[in-house]
Amino acid sequence: MATRKVGKYEVGRTIGEGTFAKVKFAQNTETGQSVAMKVLSKNTVLKHKMVDQIKREISVMKIVRHPNIVRLHEVLSSRTKIYIILEFITGGELFDKIVSQGRLRENESRRYFQQLIDAVDYCHKKGVYHRDLKPENLLLDSQGNLKISDFGLSALPQQGVGLLHTTCGTPNYVAPEVLSHQGYNGAAADVWSCGVILYVLMAGYLPFDCTDLPTLYRKINAAEFTCPPWFSPDARSLICRILDPNAKTRIQIEGIKSDVWFKKNYVANGHVEEQEVNLDDVRAVFDDIEDQYVSEQKANNEKGPLVMNAFEMITLSQGLNLSALFDRRLDHVKRQTRFVSCKPAITITSTIEAVAESMGLKVHSRNYKMRLEGLSANKAGQFAVVLEVFEVAPSLFMVDVRKAAGDTFEYHKFYKKLCSKLEHVIWKTEGTTKAALHRTKSC
């Protein structure tokens, strides 16, 4: 069984993976608190000249303390790694909810939009502009409240004086003035992205969507979109004032908050923390102060798949009901999904490798963990998926599947196609999970 500790944190499975960082599930051994640990290699940060961006992201998340923003607990450093300890959010991405349910009801969309605007307004008053607002960066906690994450492209106060000039964000959610390369107001650009998000929540699809980038940019610049017939007149009016291609006449947050549609059932969040922010630990991480290093301990006693302990299983299934861990529903695919198999671990991995290669994907495999890579559907970027095998009981294995790069819609299609080709490997439960677990020995 493999275990790893970083300082006071016991590190578990990988729950997210990007180009430059991995996010691990971890537990504070002193308090028992579950956290998300974002791990970055110092060499990678230096090689790609990302010191300022990472330092900015950490500093921003320490500055912003709002109930609808993912909380940063602390920052740690070893000789080779940077560890960002974040609030562990269990409800998944808002994007997953839209994909699985389709468009949301107007009242539900309004509640999420109200929470989004509250958090963005708070950031702007702190001089912080997110610049990459989209449903994939909006998480949901166990109570269904919205949490903004991923401040990697944010602009800090000292950068927010005057106009910003960096073209960043996701094309479908980016404001026209950001694409013009002539400088833009960070607050107005964030408001535009919020408008696109509101449209997506209520419509179930994007207002501006085209695989041909020049055509997409033309539609955004002209605000060429139509509202579906089920939008109420008040909602349509607000969205049109937000998706105004002229940043100078576009409605501002004060206007949104006074809008009749927005104000319906609106309750301002009164639990915002105001406290002095100390960035000494951030400076220490990047100044290589040796006495700030945390110890890394790793024990690996066998060469089989990682064993998932009970605490991780319960946390992963969001409670004591483990059905969410084992019930594979093809109509509910998340960026991180999983299925269960009674086949030997080596059979699972070799079958997945063969299926992936038949789908034209390049396979990198090591220690029951695989990365599948290929080009995205529009050939404009990379598509990548990571799979990892865990042993959850004798002769019972869970395969964790998560998107590492590419479009989320494309990942959903990929996962369904993969599962259809693995029907003989995936264990199909009958009855309750508890009863199925008793049958494990006969699989």
What is the 3 state secondary structure string of 267-315? Answer: CCCCCCCCCCCCCHHHHHHHHCCHHHECCEEEEECCCCCEECCHHHHHH
Which residue ranges make up the annotated binding site for ATP?
Answer: 47
Residue 197's pLDDT is what? Answer: 94
Least confident of 48-52, 117-121, 280-284: 280-284
CATH topology assigned to domain 306-442: TATA-Binding Protein (3.30.310)
The band of 167, judged by pLDDT with boundaries at 50, 70 and 90, is very low
Q: For residue range 302-340, what is the model confidence (pLDDT) as tens digits?
A: 566 766 554 454 445 444 344 444 444 433 445 557 788
Closest by alpha carbon to 341, among 402, 272, 270, 423?
423
pLDDT band at 299 (very low <50, low <70, confident <90, very high): low
Given this model, what pLDDT does residue 320 score?
A: 39
214-224 pLDDT, tens digit each: 888 899 999 99
Q: Given this model, what pLDDT does residue 296 score?
A: 58
Beta strands in 199-255 (DSSP E): none
Instruction: Return d(Cα 226, Cα 211) in angstroms, integer.
Output: 18
| Token pair belonging to 308 | 């998932």
Range name among 168-172, 180-184, 323-327 with the lowest pLDDT average = 323-327
Stated pTM of the model: 0.65
Q: Is the dihedral of CA 19, 20, 22, 23 positive or negative?
A: negative
The pLDDT-based confidence of 114 (bands split at 50, 70, 90) is: very high
> Domain spans of the chain?
2-88, 94-263, 306-442
Q: Over 60: is that where the pLDDT of 435 sits?
A: no
Check residue 285 and give its pLDDT: 65
Please report, in range form, the residues annotated as the binding site: 47
User: In this predicted structure, which of 36-50, 183-197, 250-264 has the lowest mean pLDDT?
Assistant: 36-50
Residue 224 makes CB contacts below 8 A (sequence gap 6+) with: 208, 218
Angle CA(131)–CA(132)–CA(137) in degrees, nearest 5? 140
| pLDDT-based confidence at residue 271 (cuts at 50, 70, 90) | low
Q: Which of 18, 8, 2, 16 is nearest to 406 (CA)?
A: 18
The larger pLDDT score, comparing residue 366 to residue 312, is at 366
Q: Which CB contacts under 8 angstroms, 24+ apart, belong to 265-268?
A: 265/107, 265/110, 265/111, 266/114, 268/118
Most confident of 94-103, 184-193, 242-251, 404-413: 242-251
- Confirm whether 132 is a catalytic residue: yes
Least confident residue range of 158-172, 179-193, 206-220, 360-374: 158-172
The answer to whether the CB of 187 falls within 8 A of the CB of 253 is: yes
| pLDDT exceeds cutoff 60 at 148 | yes
**Which residue shows structure tokens 């998926």?**
385
Q: Which residue has the higher pLDDT, 379 or 356?
A: 356
User: For residue 46, what pLDDT band results from cuts at 50, 70 and 90?
Assistant: confident
Q: Which of 96, 118, 132, 400 is catalytic?
A: 132
pLDDT for residue 438: 41
What letter would DSSP give residue 20? S
> Which pLDDT score is estimated for 78?
82
pLDDT tens by residue, 9-41 = 998 888 777 667 788 889 999 999 999 888 888
Contacts of 244 (CB under 8 A, 6+ apart): 223, 250, 251
Q: What mean pLDDT is predicted for residues 164-179?
A: 68
In CATH, the architecture of 94-263 is Orthogonal Bundle (1.10)
Q: Which CATH superfamily is domain 2-88 in?
A: Phosphorylase Kinase; domain 1 (3.30.200.20)
DSSP 150-198: --TT-B-GGG-SS-B----S-GGG--HHHHTTS-B-HHHHHHHHHHHHH
Q: Is 225:275 a contact under the CB 8 Å cutoff? A: no
- The yes-or-no verdict on residue 392 having pLDDT over 80 is no
The rounded mean pLDDT for the chain is: 77
